[in-house]
Amino acid sequence: MTTVPDQVLDCTGLQCPLPVIKTSQAVKTLAVGQVLELLATDPGVEPDMNAWTRRTGNELVGISKDGDVFHVLIRRAK
């Protein structure tokens, strides 16, 4: 089943730490239970989003890669 995001955040072309900072800000605008899709080309985004979700208690729904673009689905958990 495909998760449909409630909001899409395009961080393609942006480098660390901007995807993390912008994700943090974007998730705060969601209601609990809603999903953000982050698009990013920074090669560090996968370990970064694993760490970020673990630290902040939000749920990493999944990460996939389409060409150079990572698609990261994050559900606001609290």
Partner 1 sequence: MWTGEGEAKILYVMTHGVNDPGRCATPFFLAASAAAMESEVMIYFTMYGPQLLQKDVIDKIGPKGDQGQKLRYFIEQATALDVKLLVCQPSLDLNDLAIEDLLDDVGMIGGAAFNDLAAEADAVISF
Residue 54 or 65 with smaller CB distance to partner 1:
54
Structure tokens at 73: 């689905």
Q: Residue 77 interacts with partner 1 (CB under 8 A)?
A: no
Angle, helices 45-56/18-28, rounded to nearest 10 degrees: 40
DSSP 5: P
Q: Residue 24 interacts with partner 1 (CB under 8 A)?
A: yes
Choose the catalytic residue: 8, 10, 13, 16: 16
In sequence order, which residues have a C-beta less than 8 Å from that of residue 18 and are 6 or more positions away?
11
Binding positions for partner 1, 56-75, rule CB under 8 A: 56
Residue 4 or 39 with smaller CB distance to partner 1:
39
